[in-house]
Structure 1
Amino acid sequence: MAGWVTENLIPFEAGLFLETMANLGVTFYMFLVGLEMDLTPLRKIERTALTVAIAGIVLPVAVGVGVHTIVLKLRENIDVPEMGAYFWSIALSHTSFPDLARILSDPEAHELYVAIPVLLCMTIFWFSLRPFIRKVVRHISVAEKEKPASDKHLHFILSLVFLSGFITELCGAHSFFGAFMFGLMIPGGELGTNIKNKNSSVMVFLVILVAISAKIVGALLVCLFFKSPMRDGLALGLLMNTKGVLAVIIINEGRNMKGFDQQTYSWIVVAILLMTVIIGPVVSYTHRSARHLRSYNEMHLERSKPDTPLRVLACVHSTRNLSGLISLLQISNVTRKSPITVFAVHLVELAGRTSAMLIFHDKNKTIDTGNNCSREKAEAEQIVSAFESFENENHGATVRPLTAVSPYASMHEDVNNFALDRFANIILIPFHKQPDTSGGWTAENLQHELVNQNLLQTSPCSIGLLVDRGLTCFPESQKGTPECRVSMLFVEGPDDREALAYAWRMAGSPNLMLTLVRFVPGKEVSEFFESDDEQEIFPDRFERERQKQLDDDYINVFRSRTMHDQSITYIEKQVSSGDQIVSALSSAYNDFDLYVVGRGHDRTSPLTSGLSNWSEFPELGPLGETLVLMDLESPASVLIVQQSCPESSGSKKTKTSDQNLLS
């Protein structure tokens, strides 16, 4: 059979042509790898990163030589040149960063639609293929009269292994599920023994274990030396084990040069595959599981005191966003007793490269964003300079400027990951439109709207969207009167409580007047807003009552602790519809510099349900959009606050009680 295939399907001339084209493909692939590389960050590499990189190369090289030597000693009857150690070393020290980026940006899915076809496929295998395999085994035993199975039988069995893995791969699961199930179907006996003898399990296990451990041990030792968390060192070592096409090319070239035989080549390829396969699930479990994100529920502003240290991730697209964001930070009560750490992130679209970059700026060095455009460089310097001035003017502020260069489609992932790494309490983002001279709005970049929407859907912490209409920080008045008027409009829900928590923090700023307006629904509103589905009436009513109790508790705590503060005013306004809210805002509450409201995402309030029917900017929420589009007495900026949702943090929200509020 093999001879017929060689003569008719793949003759010598065709094989030579395919080999030539394969070499050309490898040549152009290496050209693309070099094209994607950016050597600019190497000039600013830190000592820790440099040490990890050196350890990730030196130790795997030594391990590669050692493993190759062990294999030679255990297989004394095999004549293998010692130059195979070079190929082992290069393959083990190599890390495929394009494949690593894809693993980190596309974590494995665990949806039910993947499990169902896999289970169905395995059931069919068990009841249809297993009897067939048993018949084949009995046929082999009778035909060869208890003689060892020939190579053709073993090749047939191994071909079915690949077929099983291919089928489960089509179902959406990994191929090793199919291979494992197929192994269970092989009955015990001489056939199984012969298969195991052809593949030395001890040797394969030794090669894989030592190969995987090389980079892990190196990264772990370096991280422990620099007093980094052990968990991060293990994850870094696993990530550096990512192998790609280049590693296979190196090993294949070593086999072509007779550096090692076919069986040794198979061991190395299996080790490379396993090293790459286990990275996704392990890192996803250790760094993306819910148990490492549950602490974010405790970092909500609602659950902290107004003067606790605040960690803010401020996102800036251009210099147009600077004035409003910095003014908002300046009225956020920046003192030594209530310090603020600001991570000022300049978001830049990735162009000309396929690998995103995160650049930390040294205050004493010239900024280099890796782009030759002088305009972008000048804009980055202006942004950093503005935040440094904010730090110099406020003794309780600490600023960490950086630039994130990534595609707009995945920019939110970089922001979220950095917020997780720096334990940010809130992310501040600018609205994608800017006010024009005629009182309307002009879009700065429509892609910024996409970034904002993605952040609101996936943010692991609270997020504030600022619609800036000339918010400025006012100097202290000589007459001693407040110069900045802020109104917090409270309706209901966790977003409103988070917004009130941020406004409460602002109230500590000098010369700032805070007015809290709580809109309370009348009795007829709750009766009218019952669900039509009888099965949902009681759960909805219970949830609404629970949220109302949480709102009342938080408002009561706020009032009891600010009753003697002359700069804070509390107003309770009973309304029955969104139109009455608009009317109240137009007549009585239309003269403020800044409005702070909750977005109210994933909630339908009877008071604002009518406002959302004509929504043009859903990211603002019904009340926030109403304020932005209303013709108020004076143009006011609006801060829309959203508390992190349970879907983004990977955990369920726990019930808040007055015992843990502001404890």
Structure 2
Amino acid sequence: MPESNDWCYSAYAFAHICLIQYKISGEGPGLGEELGDAKMAQTSDFVTKGKYKIFFGMNNEFTICYDDTKPIANNYWQAVNPLMKRMPIFMMQLSVLIALTHVLMLIIRPLRQPQFLSEILAGILLGPTALGITGWISPIINPFEGGLFLETMANLGVTFYMFLVGLEMDLTPIRKIGKTALSVALAGIILPSIAGVGLHHLVLKEEKTQRAPEMGAFFWSIALSVTSFPDLARILSDLKLLYTDLGKTALTAAVVSELSCWFVLVGTISLINGRQKLFVAITIMVGMTIFWFMMRPFISWTVKQISAASKESSTSDKHVYFILSLVLLCGYITELCGAHSNFGAFMLGLMIPGGELGTTIMDKIEDYVVGILLPPTFLLTGLRTNFAYIFAEYSFGMVLLVVLLASSAKIVSTLLVCLHFRCPKRDSLALGVLMNTKGALALIILNEGRNMKGFDQQTFSWTIAAILLMTVIIGPVVSFTHKSARHLKQYNRRSLEKSIPDAPFRVLACVHSTRNLSGLINLLQISNATRNSPIIVFAVHLVELAGRASAMIIFHDKSKTADAGNNATREKAEAEQIVNAFESFENDNHAVTVQPLTAVSPYATMHEDVSNFALDKLANIILIPFHKQPNAIGGWTDENIQHKQVNQNLLATAPCSIGLLVDRGLTSTFSRESHRGMRECRIAMLFVEGADDREALAYAWRMTGTPRLVLTVVRFLPGKDVSELTENVEEDDESGIFTAMFEREKQKQLDDDYLNEFRFRTMHDQSIAYIEKQVNSGDQIISTITSVYNDFELYVVGRGHDRTSPLTSGLSNWSDFPELGPLGETLVSTDLESPASVLVVQQSAPLPAGSKKLKSSAPTQGILGNSAAETFVNHRRAEDDY
């Protein structure tokens, strides 16, 4: 027996870690070798390694004892070596782990890898796989006596992390889950569970020293079945797929998968704690159900009281502290019930309704929990992983088979479901890989299984290797299927000029605030929605991401009146006001379908979210507001530089046509009385040359069916005194001159053909007038507009980013708003008879280098199994499919 001043600790998990660390440390005979020799000789019940004594037990259990006497420090201000205390050991471990994580993140970020990969790699590098074998890492940074405190802090971090997961998770999509998402979720649970049970029994069959299987098969099944909802949301946000059908289906299926796996995990832990007696697990489940229905009303009442107390001010710190205290209380109650504390914290997070309180809690503690409290879990996982002995006592083929089957089970199950629903192959592959997202939740399950002996060190290392493989392939595979130029080749750069006349008009309308609302809605009102050519509007409220780890999307349930009461933040109240305005627009126009949503994203990448969403919905045009607001005297106010940057980024990258609306009174012009014959709506389309002008004419042409709308198309032709611009081409560069001349003649022919078609089809329409004016310079264009065409409510012009016209060359010498183009900026800056709104239209941005436009613009099939052209004709049917 050990001496009285020895401290003994029996731990299955850490005993194995200590054996492997000192076996390869190089200090004298290896501990593993001594252990093997002692077992073979059966002459000793313990081995000694330095200050540690390892006593043998049954079923691979060991008792490790060490002397707890603190050595004298070699300094002048402390009597005891500080590295022998628990807290300094933990602080050193945490500091080294965080620093190594950030270094690895700098390396793997260009490879499209998530932060989770750097965190788990940092833990593995500090473990016995890599740096743990050195002579100073193991005794100083990872000593055995610091293991118990490390595990305690890891459990505390997991408890608060699961609270944040529950707080971030929204159960609303489950109530209206579509058959595709539900099938993906169920297949992702059933098939991987079967694979987990099979792999567990296969490993037991191959083991040379048989051990009791107990509940190990459950931990294998849960680890392979779970999909980490928060990690998946962050990956989708980074890949800018959060707003797509693919992202919605993946997130909805992930919610079902994660909740199911957590309930199975609680039942498994309860059975093990109750010594595999079923009535114990049933009792715990009943207790948790009562806890849910008793605690949830109390939480709702508490949140209402907090919201009422903070109605005139933001949520105070004492309210946040109260909720955090409840996290500890709920964790304590679930521990008393026989479940893990993190499950109680997770349930508490689900109980708190969305609103200002939840947002405040996330803003205040998320960075601390994820950055400080959670990293010990990664170090604990790394200490329990040893790839150096991953093939010990097992063949290479056996280990490779287990890792590959564990990595591909969920991908195969998702592919089978998608093939059944006849989804595109690229969407099926991407969805299968995304559903394989594990993240921190999988590590929590694996560590629970390790503590309860569902895994030994080798099988634990195998599953970690499988998780690493799953994580590494997500970014490259999804980027290849949905972000590469090869994927963009499958889509024609959609334009109004080439669209089918009777096809649905798909508009993505972006709104930053309620001040942008009326102008865009009135523009949509005169866009002539008919039964043969309905308008499908995707109304996006763009909100800056602040204080959150990932972007998010909110789809509004139009069948339920939103509550913008005390729990609503200013952003939520504004979003609901925008939703109500678009719903009223939809109710007044039976040929219009509106799908409103709120997108939260950083301004720097907001254009990527909008572009991907437009690409996913096959939008014909994106409508965006100008970044400045007009004042009462005809000037400008409230310039927003961030909105301007978003507009410029969209103009440079949009996959379809884009219209920038400068609203200067469009709100008051098109009221309901105007449709009753009170007044006419006068629109002027100013045509110079180029693809942008043809696109602007196409939009103006579509408006002509609107009652009481009069369209005047003015084409400016070059006069006799206009000289061709050749200063950009060197005189001796004959090939450049001929290329420019050929391109100009080609564009002129396209302009003539499109205008002739327009004139032929509208020759009997009395509401349309076509006029040609010869001008010699930009000054003559300005004088013509101000003298003759100065009494219109709306001007529609092309941006002209694709041309250098001699007619507008003088106008582009100075420019404060290049996003408006030379003619658009001139209209905004010129004093007309009455301030008029301006719609600047640009055709889709050029394709990336190496890609080609397709001649066909047939709609592709979406992830929900329906063609994109049919999916959103009826918004309620689309929501049901989702």
For normalisation by structure 2, the TM-score amounts to 0.59
* Cα shift at 1:342: 1.3
1:584 corresponds to which residue? 784
Corresponding residue SS for 1:313: strand
85-94 vs 554-563, which moves further: 85-94
Farther-moved stretch of structure 1 (417-426 vs 56-65): 56-65
Measure the CA separation in 2 of the matches of 1:370 and 1:407.
Answer: 27
Distance 1:417 1:465 in 2: 18
Partner-residue secondary structure (3-state), 2:633: coil
408-417 vs 557-566, greater mean Cα deviation: 408-417
**More moved, 89-98 vs 359-368:** 89-98
Q: Which residue identity does 1:60 align to in structure 2?
A: P
1:483 equivalenced with 2:680 (yes/no): yes
Deviations 1:312-362 (A, max 9, x none): 111122222221111111111122232111122222333443232222222
Is 2:515 the partner of 1:320?
A: yes
Given the superposition, is the C-alpha separation of residues 303 and 586 from structure 1 closer, same or farther in structure 2, using an over 3 Å criterion? same
Provide the rounded CA distance (Å) in 2 between the counterparts of 1:370 and 1:654.
Answer: 50
Residue 139 (structure 2) aligned to one of 9, 12, 15: 12
Instruction: Say whether the 8 Å CA contact 1:617–1:625 is kept in structure 2.
Output: yes
Equivalent residue number for residue 575 of structure 1 = 775
In structure 2, C-alpha distance between the alignment counterparts of 1:22 and 1:650, rounded to whole Å = 53
Amino acid in the other structure paired with 1:507: T
Task: Measure the CA separation in 2 of the matches of 1:14 and 1:395.
Answer: 69
Aligned pair partner of 2:188 in 31, 52, 56:
56
Aligned partners of 2:526 and 2:703 also within 8 Å: yes
| 1:397 to 1:253, Cα distance in 2 relative to 1, 3 A | closer
- Contact 1:315–1:428 (Cα < 8 Å) also in 2: yes
Q: What letter matches 2:761 in structure 1?
A: R
Q: Which residue matches 2:558?
A: 363
**Partner in structure 2 of residue 500 of structure 1:** 697
Give yes or no for contact 2:493–2:656 (8 Å, CA) kept in 1.
Answer: no
Within the candidate set 91, 100, 109, 2:223 is matched to 91
Gaps of 5+ in 2: 1-23, 28-131, 241-389, 857-882
Q: Secondary structure at the match of 2:506?
A: strand
Determine helix, strand or coil for the equivalent of 2:582: helix
Relative to structure 1, the CA distance from residue 446 to residue 41 in structure 2 (aligned partners, 3 Å threshold; closer, same or farther) is farther
1:307 is displaced (CA, Å) by 4.5
Which of 273, 284, 309 aligns to 2:468? It is 273
Alignment pair present for 1:234 and 2:429: yes
1:559 aligns with 2:691: no
Contact 1:96 1:242 in 2 (8 A): yes
Q: Is the 8 A contact 2:219 2:449 kept in 1?
A: yes
Q: Answer yes or no: is the 8 Å Cα contact 1:486–1:592 preserved in 2.
A: yes
SS of the residue aligned with 1:423?
coil
1:411 Cα deviation (Å)?
2.5
> Which one is further off, 58-67 or 311-320?
58-67
* The 10-residue stretch of structure 1 (563-572 or 538-547) with the greater mean CA deviation from structure 2: 538-547
**Identity percentage of aligned residues:** 69
Alpha-carbon separation, structure 2, partners of 1:586 and 1:651? 43
2:492–2:855: 8 Å Cα contact kept in structure 1?
Answer: no
- Residue 545 (structure 1) shift: 2.2
Q: In the alignment, what sits opposite 2:199?
A: 67
Match of 2:805 among 577, 595, 605: 605
Q: 1:183 maps to which residue?
A: none
Structure 1 residues 27 and 445, CA, compared in 2 at 3 Å: closer, same or farther? farther
What is the 5 A alignment of 1:224-373? 231-248=426-443, 250-251=445-446, 254=449, 259-290=454-485, 292-294=487-489, 296-297=491-492, 299-367=494-562, 372-373=567-568
Match of 1:323, SS state, is helix
Paired residues, number? 571
Partner of 1:511: 708
Q: What is the SS of the residue equivalent to 1:346?
A: strand
Q: CA deviation at 1:287?
A: 2.5
Distance 1:319 1:409 in 2: 22
Question: 1:100·1:239 contact (CA, 8 Å) conserved in 2?
Answer: yes
Over residues 367-420 of structure 1, what are the superposed CA-to-partner deviations in whole Å (9 max), with x where a residue is unaligned?
369994354343333222222222222222122222223333332232222222
Query: 2 CA distance for matches of 1:492 and 1:325?
Result: 26
Question: Taking structure 1 as reference, are residues 29 and 460 closer, same or farther at Cα in structure 2, changes over 3 Å only?
Answer: farther
Equivalent residues of 1:81, 1:260 under 8 A apart: no
Verify the 8 A CA contact 2:491 2:854 in the aligned structure 1.
Answer: no
Per-residue deviation, 1:504: 0.5
Query: 1:313-462 residue pairs with structure 2 within 5 A?
Result: 313-367=508-562, 372-443=567-638, 445-462=640-657
Shift in CA distance, 488/294, structure 1 to aligned 2, threshold 3 Å: farther
Q: Counterparts of 1:570 and 1:240 in 2: how far apart (Å)? A: 56
Separation of aligned partners in 2, 1:625 and 1:197: 73
- Partners of 1:427 and 1:627 lie apart in 2 by 21
Residue 47 of structure 1 corresponds to 177
CA positional deviation for 1:524: 5.2
The runs of 5 or more residues in structure 1 that have no matched partner are 109-194, 657-663
Retained in 2: the 8 A contact 1:311–1:342? yes
In structure 2, C-alpha distance between the alignment counterparts of 1:401 and 1:369, rounded to whole Å: 16
Is the 8 Å Cα contact of residues 485 and 848 (structure 2) preserved in structure 1? Answer: no
Q: How far apart, in 2, do the equivalents of 1:453 and 1:213 lie? A: 42
Q: Call closer, same or farther: CA 1:70–1:436 in 2, change over 3 Å.
A: same
> Corresponding residue for 1:126?
none
2:744 matched to 1:536?
A: no
| 1:103 Cα offset (Å) | 4.4
The whole-number CA distance in structure 1 between the counterparts of 2:822 and 2:743 is 21
**Which residue type is aligned with residue 759 of structure 2?**
R
For residues 557-608 of structure 1, the C-alpha deviation after alignment (integer angstroms, 9 at most, x for no partner) is 1112112222111122222332222222222221111011111225433322
**Per-residue CA shift, 1:281-300, capped at 9, x if unaligned?**
32223233445544643641
State how 1:20-39 maps to structure 2 within 5 Å.
Answer: 23=151, 24=153, 27-28=156-157, 31-32=160-161, 34-35=163-164, 38-39=167-168
Distance (whole Å) between structure 2 residues aligned to residue 374 and residue 311 of structure 1: 31
Counterpart residue type for residue 526 of structure 2: I
For 1:410 and 1:39, the matched residues in 2 are separated by: 22
Separation in 2 of the partners of 1:26 and 1:602? 59
Offset from partner CA, 1:29-86 (integer Å, 9 cap, x none): 7645643654452134332345544543444333222212112223344657555434
CA contact (8 A) 1:367 1:377 kept: no
Code of the residue aligned with 2:823 in structure 1: it is: L
Q: What SS class does the counterpart of residue 595 from structure 1 fall into?
A: strand
1:3 aligns with 2:200: no
Structure 1 counterpart SS, 2:623: strand
Distance in 2 separating the partners of 1:255 and 1:370 = 47
Answer yes or no: is the 8 Å Cα contact 1:433–1:443 preserved in 2.
yes
Q: 1:56 to 1:561 in 2, by over 3 A?
A: same
Q: Which amino acid aligns with 1:47?
A: I
The equivalent residue for 1:145 is none
Give the stretch that moved more between structures: 213-222 or 28-37: 28-37
Pick from 711, 718, 731: which aligns with 1:521? 718
Give the TM-score normalised by the residue count of structure 1: 0.77
| Residue 550 (structure 1) shift | 1.5
Greater mean alpha carbon deviation, residues 406-415 or residues 17-26: 17-26
Indicate how the Cα distance of structure 1 residues 531 and 93 shifts in structure 2: closer, same or farther if over 3 A, else same: same
Q: How far 1:506 moved relative to its partner?
A: 0.7
Q: CA RMSD of the aligned region, Å?
A: 3.6
Aligned residue identity for 1:85: A
How far apart, in 2, do the equivalents of 1:526 and 1:309 lie? Answer: 43
Distance in 1 of aligned mates of 2:708 and 2:517: 22
Moved more, 549-558 or 240-249: 240-249
Give the secondary structure class of the aligned counterpart of 2:683. Answer: strand
Task: Name the CA shift for 1:629/1:204 in 2 (closer, same or farther; >3 Å).
Answer: farther
Determine the C-alpha separation between the residues in 2 that align with 1:575 and 1:21: 83
- Separation in 1 of the partners of 2:456 and 2:772? 83
Q: Which residue number corresponds to residue 840 of structure 2? A: 640
- Preserved contact between residue 350 and residue 356 of structure 1 (Cα < 8 Å): yes
